[in-house]
Structure 1
Amino acid sequence: MGIIERRGEIMNLLHGSGGVLGNMHFTLDGSDDPSNVLNLMALDAYVSGAQPHAVVRALDMVADDVDLIPEGGSLVRSISGASFLQLVTGDDWTLRTQRWRDGSGQAVVTAVTRERAEEIAAYLTDRTGSVEEVGEDKVDMGFWYRSARGPFRSTRSISAPRWPEIERNYSSSAGSALGKLMATQASDVAGRLVLFHGPPGTGKTTALRALAREWAPWCQVDTVLDPEAFFADPSYLMEVIIGSEMDLVLDADLNPDEPRRGHWRLMVLEDCDELIRGEAKEASGQSLARLLNLTDGLLGQGREIMVAITTNERLDRLHPAVVRPGRCLAQIEVGALSALESSDWLGGDPVREPMTLAELYARRGGTDPTTTEAPIPQQQIGQYL
């Protein structure tokens, strides 16, 4: 708003002398719009102290036709535009909801008690998001991206195999290293960087999904969909780091009876060749420096956070600072299976040379990319049709 007056009570509060904040007075100028008014009205009971407890929730996958008015609530204001806002009040609570065109949203609830605020918030989260429940073969994974209004995190339940189910998909050397990584516990973490390198089609992403499931009891795994923007924009980077920490703390407070996942987080960055190859410092400016700072620099101090990177580059083409001793918790080459391992994977079919996992699945499915098809017979040129 242009000027907000609260009868001098804000200054008293800032100086620690207490006071009651209520009966807000404000003036409007040409820069204000209806959303400013709605936002102030939503906070009136909170400012006055009538509803001293507030809960903020991010909403995921909000359908256009979903009703976000809890039982007993009355719609006070609504705004339609780039987003849809509603102000709803009940006997002892106030709710402001906002939904954007991409299906995401936010809810701010104030109430006379924390329990009442959580009850209203739970009503909203139950009516939004995916209806799919996490099964035994799935794990919750977060997905970060920068939207038009800033960093946003969406949660999805993804299919994730157990490591013993897919171990034979990897060569003996890669399988041994991956097995040790899968068995890692929070107390075993030394380095903060997990690096999977190798040619396309060797199963790096599948291994990460299995890792998310094996580490689920103590580590939250999030994927950054736009890693270039993530490291190029300090505000995006800090929002993800601090925002994720707050989500974990809030989840622990709201669900004290559920097993805690722990404070560790793993940020997954896929196909980041440009970020970590030898000439990355010149090509991507400060992005490489911020990555290294996050893993073991000042930015990473005091935070239980790891970074997992997949790349198609060979190890000798990566920046020396990335692969130096002590930085990596695991540095694993995920390559093709040998001819003998490939033959065993196919159930004894003869194989003459190493094959990637993608090639093995293609061959088993009848679309072997290594098979050369017979050329099409040459046809004589006829008359025009």
Structure 2
Amino acid sequence: MTVSRKEPQEILHLVEPRETDDDPGAGLTLPVILNLNDANSPADVMDVLSLRRFASGEQPWSRSARLDHVKPSAPLRPDDARVLRVAREEGKESTLAEGDGWTVLTNRWKHGSAYVAVSAVTDELAESVLAECVRDATEPPKTSENVEMGFWHLGSRGPVRTERAISADPWETIRGNYTARVAEAFDEVMKMTRDDVSGRLLLLHGPPGTGKTTALRALARAWGKWCVADCVLDPEALFGATSYLMEVAVGEDDDEEENRRWRLLILEDCDELIRGEAKQSTGQGLSRLLNLTDGMLGQGRDVLVAITTNEDLARLHPAVVRPGRCLAQIEVGRLSRAESQAWLAASAPGVEVPAFGPEGATLADLVALRNGEKRAERRDDASEATGFYL
């Protein structure tokens, strides 16, 4: 291997020479040039080095797996592996190891997920080494009170998805948090299956603290058998960068057609994206959202989009709420005075029930009272508050 450095780009070239004619494998491998620069981390170097033998053809077979809920004690490599390099950075550890005829790269993150890639001289060897790496490496499934949810954000090196188990109550246990009209609307949505999907957009609107996010967590649980829920933490970046949008919306389908699940993208507090003047204030963001729900981008992709907003329906862009686009539009409002008193009497026996005003109370107000917190004074600009994420 030869090394050269050029200025001023500070590019490091790792050149893998051809084998000589005296070598038994001559003609079967290719020269490889691996480029690195000062922006690459040690973990990046290991990613590149792990591909060297695969790229040259010395180990032309590769198998890989992504894991969640990895046990802290799991080595993620065979017992006889020879460790070549280890790189640790904030929240991530990378290990490069080898054995007779194979190489394995392991990237594991502090939140419990991991990526294992094996290259080998035969497909059978790659498959067996990978099976040994992942054997008994993960924890048992979480309790029924949790649901798996992905969280997307645009990192310094591109889109990043992190999967975590979040608490999600069954819909039946939280149904009483909503007015009768809203509860009936959610009843219809919660019992939907893949065959019931008509529109691609689920719109929840109403004042902050009324339980929109709580309902979405319950929805992720109710749809768990046929739909994967992903929360996008930076929706303005998602619709501002086409590469990010393609990665999140299109992705890769590893499952067979009959096993493939729908994907629910959750976008919280997207007032700027969907209000009436959105086209002027967010540029192409609104157009890309509409394209995802029923345009060319959405064709052939099993993707649903759930949006929460504090805006009144009348202030939303007409293209968002037009008939046929929405799977459901649900206004999640305050509980009435009588409903608020009944909720507090049932949820917190012994707590003095205050005299609610004619507008009733939000779910956040009631939870605060149940927990002994002072009820926040109602302000005229309450619609501009950030909400309690309930």
Shorter-normalised TM range: 0.7 to 0.9
In structure 2, the residue matched to 1:126 is 137
Match of 1:88 among 97, 102, 110: 97
In structure 2, the residue matched to 1:312 is 310
Match of 1:221 among 229, 233, 253: 229
In structure 2, the residue matched to 1:176 is 184
> TM-score normalized by structure 1?
0.78
What does 1:98-117 align with in structure 2 at a 5 Å threshold?
98=107, 106-111=115-120, 112=122, 113=124, 115-117=127-129
Given residue 269 of structure 2, which amino acid in structure 1 is its aligned partner?
Answer: D
In structure 2, the residue matched to 1:281 is 279
* CA deviation profile, 1:140-167 (whole Å, cap 9, x unmatched): 1111111111111111111111111011
In structure 2, the residue matched to 1:145 is 153
What secondary structure is seen at the aligned counterpart in 2 of 1:347? helix
What secondary structure is seen at the aligned counterpart in 2 of 1:216? coil
> TM-score normalized by structure 2?
0.77
Distance 1:67 1:102 in 2: 16
Match of 1:135 among 143, 154, 160: 143
Distance 2:67 2:246 in 1: 18
What does 1:172-321 align with in structure 2 at a 5 Å threshold?
172-243=180-251, 245-246=252-253, 249-250=254-255, 260=259, 262-321=260-319
The answer on 1:155 being equivalent to 2:163 is: yes
CA positional deviation for 1:5: 6.9
Contact 1:109–1:117 under 8 Å retained in 2? yes
Distance 1:5 1:105 in 2: 32
Given residue 212 of structure 1, which amino acid in structure 2 is its aligned partner?
Answer: A
In structure 2, the residue matched to 1:358 is 364
* CA deviation profile, 1:291-326 (whole Å, cap 9, x unmatched): 000000000001110000001111111111111111
Distance 2:34 2:287 in 1: 45
* CA deviation profile, 1:297-356 (whole Å, cap 9, x unmatched): 000001110000001111111111111111000100000001111122122845443111
CA positional deviation for 1:370: 5.8
**Cα RMSD (Å):** 3.5
CA positional deviation for 1:51: 5.1
Distance 2:45 2:247 in 1: 24
Contact 1:197–1:333 under 8 Å retained in 2? yes
Change (3 A) 1:5 1:56: farther
The answer on 1:25 being equivalent to 2:26 is: no
Distance 1:319 1:219 in 2: 28
In structure 2, the residue matched to 1:12 is none
Given residue 363 of structure 2, which amino acid in structure 1 is its aligned partner?
Answer: L
Given residue 276 of structure 2, which amino acid in structure 1 is its aligned partner?
Answer: G
Change (3 A) 1:37 1:158: closer
Distance 1:30 1:166 in 2: 53
Given residue 180 of structure 2, which amino acid in structure 1 is its aligned partner?
Answer: S
Distance 1:144 1:168 in 2: 31
In structure 2, the residue matched to 1:340 is 338
Distance 2:305 2:370 in 1: 34
What secondary structure is seen at the aligned counterpart in 2 of 1:301? coil
In structure 2, the residue matched to 1:52 is 61
Contact 1:46–1:110 under 8 Å retained in 2? no
Identical columns (%): 45
In structure 2, the residue matched to 1:11 is none
Contact 2:31–2:56 under 8 Å retained in 1? no
Contact 1:21–1:49 under 8 Å retained in 2? no
Distance 1:371 1:347 in 2: 21
What secondary structure is seen at the aligned counterpart in 1 of 2:80? coil
Distance 2:337 2:363 in 1: 12
Contact 2:83–2:95 under 8 Å retained in 1? yes
Distance 1:202 1:27 in 2: 57
Change (3 A) 1:103 1:157: closer
Given residue 337 of structure 1, which amino acid in structure 2 is its aligned partner?
Answer: L
* CA deviation profile, 1:164-195 (whole Å, cap 9, x unmatched): 10111001111111111101111010000000
Given residue 329 of structure 1, which amino acid in structure 2 is its aligned partner?
Answer: L
Query: Which protein has the bigger helix share?
Result: 1
In structure 1, the residue matched to 2:106 is 97
Given residue 98 of structure 2, which amino acid in structure 1 is its aligned partner?
Answer: T
Gaps of 5+ in 1: 8-18, 254-258, 373-385
Contact 2:46–2:96 under 8 Å retained in 1? no
- Give the total of aligned pairs: 346
Distance 1:28 1:186 in 2: 45
CA positional deviation for 1:263: 2.4
Change (3 A) 1:120 1:275: farther
CA positional deviation for 1:368: 4.3
Contact 1:204–1:310 under 8 Å retained in 2? yes
In structure 1, the residue matched to 2:325 is 327
